[in-house]
Amino acid sequence: MRRLPPRTLRGQLTVGLVVLLALACLAVGTATAVALRGFLIGRLDEQLASSGGRFAASLEHEATPDADNRPDTRGQAEGTFGARLLNGTVTQAAVVADATDRTLAPDAAGRRALAAVPADGHGHTLRLAPLHAYRVMAVRGDDQDILLTGLPLHPVEETVHRLEAVEAALFGAALVVTGFAAALWVRIRLRPLQRVTARAAEVAELPLASGEIAMPGPLPDADPHTEVGQVGGALNHMLGHVEDALTRRQAGEQRLRHFAADASHELRTPVANIRGHAELALRHHGPVPAEVRHALERVDGESRRMTRLVDDLLLLARLDAGRPLDHDPVDLTLLVLNAVDDARASGAGHRWLLDLPEAPVDITGDAHRLQQAIGNLLATARTHTPPGTSVTVALAAERTEVSVSVSDDGPGIPEDLQTEVFGRFVRGDHARSRTTGSTGLGLAIVQAVTAAHGGTIAVTSRPGDTTFRMALPR
């Protein structure tokens, strides 16, 4: 039932026009029927006034046995009713049928109704069994009696009902024709709005967050003198601002990517030099003061961490620039086994579990980058969970995709951090600290590598159950 009212503007306008026309037809039909009924009843009142009660007066001779004293029915229309009242009592009542009179004996209710008609020379509507409704008029007679003459309302009712039937047929046909015409007219008039809607839907389908895109052109028929044209003009103006903002954002992102790539590339050489000099100094055979050795070890450790950061930044910059990856056959089962072996060596305090299918899983992709992504997932589980945590690595193969899941029973990821966990330089206050050596880029690299392979990465987390699922096309 909730779907019965039209939801579209076109349907509402069409139904509204038809309903308004139906109300107008109903008002016209009602006014016409009422006016016609009043006119016909007025004609009956004129006929009753012109009769002057002659038929009712002739009823007083009905009691005499002389046939010449029968009521005078000449000039009386068929169905004419007459009654004579004396002192409030009906003495005679008859109705004309086939040019003859037919005596009536009204019941008690009929007699009371006849006696209640005022002798004011005006018409009154009265219903007497077994007759139909009558229009009666009462006048005073010469013998202190009251003479009532009536004409049937049945012809009036038939005429009014016939008019109502004709009006219903005509108005019904008019409503049907008008409904189709209104639907066509509204459809034509709303075409500019449909184009506005289609353009807005087209823009809504664009991946505005994916980088440089081609915005659709402005609407050609945005007439500022119409409401629809004003909406189209506002949409054109908004699309212009959106296109300008996207262009500026894309230019800024391009400059930032170029800067990150150039800076990472330029930093690799001095960082490598610092690391080399620190290692060379540590290899000195002569005595080295403890403070100096500690300082050199710190320089070597920080240079190693900076090397990883520079390499991660350079990788992300290359992936952002759309650098093509290798497309070679990859044994994903072997990659998972190697990554778990490396993680077990680095995190001996964790319990590492494997869930692999019986048959090897092969895909097409870049083995080195996939190995790095899986290793980052395992490093995340190892770094941000306490010793003794169980980490399960599961590999599943389906017809169109394969998935690598890394689950742990650690403390979980805060809910407010789950939507940003794949961002760059995102760290949790309770886990990601500088002491862990985390750069905050590990999961960002996982997402970038997965997207470069046409896959998706998702996380679900609650205390005691955190799962990263990387899905890759077959």
Question: How does DSSP assign 142-182, residue by residue?
Answer: TTS-EEEEEEESHHHHHHHHHHHHHHHHHHHHHHHHHHHHH
d(CA 28, CA 46): 27
Contact 260, 249 (CB under 8 A): no
What letter does residue 367 receive in the DSSP assignment? H
Task: At 135, give phi and psi (nearest 5°).
Answer: -105, 115
Q: What is the pLDDT at residue 393?
A: 93
- 145/53 Cα distance (integer angstroms): 11
pLDDT (mean) for 193-215: 74
Instruction: Flag whether pLDDT at 342 surpasses 60.
Output: yes
Q: Band of the pLDDT at 38, cuts 50, 70, 90?
A: very high
Task: Give the tens place of pLDDT for each residue, 68-126.
Answer: 445 555 567 778 888 888 888 888 888 887 655 566 667 778 788 888 888 888 888 88
Encoded tokens for 396: 């599943």
Average pLDDT over residues 385-405: 91
Nearest to 140 by CA among 46, 52, 50: 52
Which of 130-144, 161-175, 207-221 has maximum average pLDDT?
Answer: 161-175
pTM value is 0.49
Model confidence over 245-298: pLDDT tens digits? 777 777 766 776 666 666 666 676 777 777 787 777 777 777 777 887 788 788
Is it the case that residue 416 has pLDDT exceeding 60?
Answer: yes
Does the pLDDT of residue 352 top 70, yes or no?
Answer: yes
Q: What is the pLDDT of residue 160?
A: 92
**Burial of residue 330, with CB atoms counted within 10 A of its CB: 0-12 exposed, 13-18 middle, 19 or more buried:** buried
Sequence-distant (6+) residues with CB within 8 A of 255 are none
Say how far apart CA 418 and CA 434 lie, in whole Å.
20
Predicted pLDDT of residue 331: 92
Give the DSSP H or E segment for 46. Answer: helix 9-51
Report, as an integer, the average pLDDT of 310-330: 77
Q: Parallel, antiparallel, or unpaired: how do β-strands 390-397 and 351-355 relate? A: parallel
Whole-angstrom distance, CA of residue 353 vs CA of residue 407: 10
Cα 409 from Cα 375, distance rounded (Å)? 18
- Three-class HEC string of 241-253: HHHHHHHHHHHHH
Q: How far apart are CA 47 and CA 463, in angstroms?
A: 99
